[in-house]
Amino acid sequence: MKKNYIFMAALLLAASSVNAQEQEDQNSADLMELEVIASPREEGAMRQQPASASLIDSKQLQDMQAGSLKSISTLAPNFFMPDYGSHLSSAVYIRGIGSRINSPAIGLYIDDVPVLDKSAFDFGLYDMQRVDILRGPQSTLYGAGTMSGVMRAYTLSPFTHQGTDISLGYATNDNTRKFSIMHYSKPTERFAWSFGGYYIGGDGFFKNDFTNNKVDDTSMGGIRFRAMYETRRQWMLDLSLNYEICNEGAYPYYYVGRQGGQPEDKADQLYRINNNLRGLYDRDNLRTSFSVRKDFDALEFRSITSFQMLRDSMQMDQDLLSDDIYKLTQIQRNKTITQDFLLKSRRPGRWQWITGVTGSFLHSSIKAPVDFRQDGVAMLNQMVNQMAGVNMPPVQSGPMSMTFNFDDQIQGNELTFQGKYTTNALSAGLFHQSTLHDLFGLRGLSLTAGLRFNADVQNLRYASWYDFTHTYQLSGHLTMPTMERDVTMVPAQDFHIVNGFYSSNYDAATTQGIVAQDPVSDTHFEWMPRLALQYQMESLGNVYATVSRGYRSGGYNVQNISEAMRTLMTRDMMTNVRDATLPVMEAQPMVPQDTKDKVSAILNGMASTQLPDVAQSCTYNPEYVWNYEVGTHLNLLEGRLFLDASAFLSDISDLQLSQMSETGLGRIMVNAGKARSAGMELMLKARPIQDLLVQANYGYTHATFRDYADYDATTKTTVDCKGNYVPFMPQHTVNVDLAYTIRFGQNRPAYSYTRDNFIVRSLTFGATYSGAGRIYWTEQNDASQDYYSMLGARAILDIHPLTISLWGRNLTNSSHNTFWFVSSNRAYEQHVKPIQVGIDAKFSF
């Protein structure tokens, strides 16, 4: 122990290597980082642009133990990415606009490469230089799918960062283990490369009482390679490859009761996770890109090409209880190709511009069978028999009477609705944006005008079918004054049915004998303008006003095809029943003709149920927004205080909302009429005293329906939701972070240590407060999550080249919900992860 004290004392003495001037430089760098970082699609640094944006740098990502985009939710105002379900559930919202399923409303770019598949949004945030959050429509420069904003993640460049970084970490409660290693090398002035990978695993937080095992265990990892080369003619070539794998337990949903006033029949499972089938999500994701950059005298040229492939498999106990009713499986195979060509002016002057051509192609192949298991088959049998039985009229002839006993049973313990779906989506865009500075000769006044033309073409090919046998028989209970007995009218008969739906452009052999319907396709041409007026007040900052239009494409609810299959299955079964029953019924002289007519009408009606138009029932329309915004970026107190503020108003039409399907066989997207979102954002970054850094942000969003009527499946009524809050997004987001740093060794010169020495440089204490809410869970606003608060803290010891972080998350052990929903008239919720304490160590050499 004494040797340890002596060793620490020696380290403290050596810490004097950091001088006062270096400290001042660091203080300035902490605040000025937002000013100096630019992007290839915009002119100037982020805070010099007429837009509301946040930058989360590598130090903040490391301090917050940010492992994914979900872990930085609320770090930017009005940015919300809840953590629930699985890595497939990448719901994200900005300013009241977002998406839980299907096409995203927020764009994601990694090293300027677009990620079009929302299933890949929840990726590992390691090797990151920074993450940018741009709020408001970015469709003019970035295209469809960015109608509420853009998330940009940038990895470290081996041209600017060399050495090896090794990180280790452990956290309590779920036994989180994490490890990463990255090596950056620049062997010549023209060539640099990096390579490494990461792993993170955890045992899970929530227990399934049915299996007595954790639900949400996680194991994921990845590798990344990047090579950059500058030719003798100054062409910069950048090749990157990223591969990530994820295997996890999923969907820790607690049952919280029947809805619509129905009596509770599962009281023993209330407030428990009680799934008889394990929820799983597995994903492999490959992302490769190749970019070329050349700076000419007058302009900058960029070409960015990418190929991305995602393979995943999801399994979910769809009834979410111990009953063995049905299981939902989804297997995706998605391939994406993107290409961007950008030209941007470089010469200083009054006119600055950027123009580009972009294109993408997404091929998505999905297998999504719905398996009705033992209890599910029994439920279907009960529904069919009850539906037919209650409509069968009794026979009355004088003193004789007879009641029918209808019995139709699907054979076996499982019934599978097979489903194969292929989507092709092609998008092409042409855009230009110009900025004219010193407008009307007024220094600092500028006008930006941009316009994008976008063409989107997509189509859906599908085949969904079933193959089963059912046994039908009909008997009657005869009552006479002198006797009672059962009479067999239709002896038990087996019927084998193979049927389903397929689009006429589907080329599978399984479609033989199945109902053919028209192909499903859509083509949309869109204009997306942007206009911004900005006044630059020298070093004080700027004020701006913008008007812009955003758009995201429509798509297809393949889950609705499973809904249509149930209608078709009932019709097929009742056709067999009709054909077996009516001849027998007609031959019974004891049955009155009016009864025969009633039975005939009932069976003919059930056997001729109108089939749904699959194309119409599964297609939803694009969503549009007009956004109006004013804001300012201010640099105050000689650069010791940065203050950003903005206010916005967004008019949304054909709002896309995610809902549970009426039968509970999955989620679907619907167009919810019109909505309006208004609000404000405040961001502050300041150093009130030399070693105290304060960062704070606040966002307020008031998003309400202007025109929407929702169908309530529980009460079978339509409810006017005008004036209600749009669900799933918080009205308030708050984040405050304080960091106080104690620096050592200010009296020793900076050159008194080498990279190989362990030098105590600083000790930082930090605390973070975050909050969000209220969040409404339904369009009718009859369920919500109140505003909640969470507290985190950290202590970071920098012993160059080793950094040790002790941290705590959710220290107040907040117990709010991250998700709440209703399926088949039953409500479920997911809870926030409980208190967690961890330790991380990073070694850089």
503 compared with 813, residue with greater pLDDT: 813
Whether the pLDDT of residue 736 is over 50: the answer is yes
234-270 pLDDT per residue, tens? 999 999 999 999 999 999 999 999 988 889 999 999 9
Q: What is the pLDDT of residue 182?
A: 96
660 compared with 134, residue with greater pLDDT: 134
- H or E element: which one contains 531? strand 520-536
803 compared with 663, residue with greater pLDDT: 803
25: left (phi over 0), alpha (psi -120 to 50) or beta: alpha
Query: What amino acid is encoded at 381 in this protein?
Result: N
114 compared with 41, residue with greater pLDDT: 114
Percent of the chain with pLDDT over 90: 59
Among the listed residues 711, 733, 707, 734, the one whose alpha carbon sits nearest the alpha carbon of residue 722: 707
207-238 pLDDT per residue, tens? 999 999 999 999 999 999 999 999 988 999 99
Q: Determine the average pLDDT of the residues in 363-370.
A: 91
pLDDT tier at 32, thresholds 50, 70, 90: very low
pLDDT tier at 41, thresholds 50, 70, 90: confident
Q: Which CB contacts under 8 angstroms, 24+ apart, belong to 741-747?
A: 741/691, 741/692, 741/693, 742/691, 743/18, 743/23, 743/691, 744/12, 744/15, 744/16, 744/18, 745/14, 745/15, 745/16, 745/17, 745/18, 746/16, 746/18, 746/19, 746/20, 746/23, 747/16, 747/19
Q: What is the pLDDT of residue 7?
A: 32
Both tokens assigned to 709? 């009527």
Q: What is the pLDDT of residue 620?
A: 85
* Mean pLDDT of all residues belonging to the chain: 87
Q: What is the pLDDT of residue 24?
A: 41
- H or E element: which one contains 471? strand 445-480
Q: What is the pLDDT of residue 98?
A: 87
746-770 pLDDT per residue, tens? 544 433 344 456 688 899 999 999 9
Q: What is the pLDDT of residue 42?
A: 80
Q: What is the pLDDT of residue 174?
A: 93
Q: Which of 50-59, 332-341, 559-568 has the highest mean pLDDT?
A: 332-341
512 compared with 250, residue with greater pLDDT: 250
Whether the pLDDT of residue 43 is over 80: the answer is no
Whether the pLDDT of residue 281 is over 60: the answer is yes
73-110 pLDDT per residue, tens? 889 999 999 999 999 988 899 998 888 777 888 999 99
Q: What is the pLDDT of residue 662?
A: 59
Please, are residues 115 and 99 in contact by the beta-carbon 8 Å criterion?
Answer: no
Q: Centre a 10 Å sphere on the Cβ of residue 193 and count the other Cβ atoms it contains.
A: 17
pLDDT tier at 200, thresholds 50, 70, 90: very high
pLDDT tier at 144, thresholds 50, 70, 90: confident
Whether the pLDDT of residue 3 is over 50: the answer is no
760 compared with 292, residue with greater pLDDT: 292
Q: Determine the average pLDDT of the residues in 709-738.
A: 84
> Taking the model in full, what pTM does it have?
0.89
Q: What is the pLDDT of residue 2?
A: 39
Whether the pLDDT of residue 199 is over 50: the answer is yes
Q: Which of 61-65, 66-70, 561-565 has the lowest mean pLDDT?
A: 561-565
Q: Determine the average pLDDT of the residues in 28-40.
A: 53
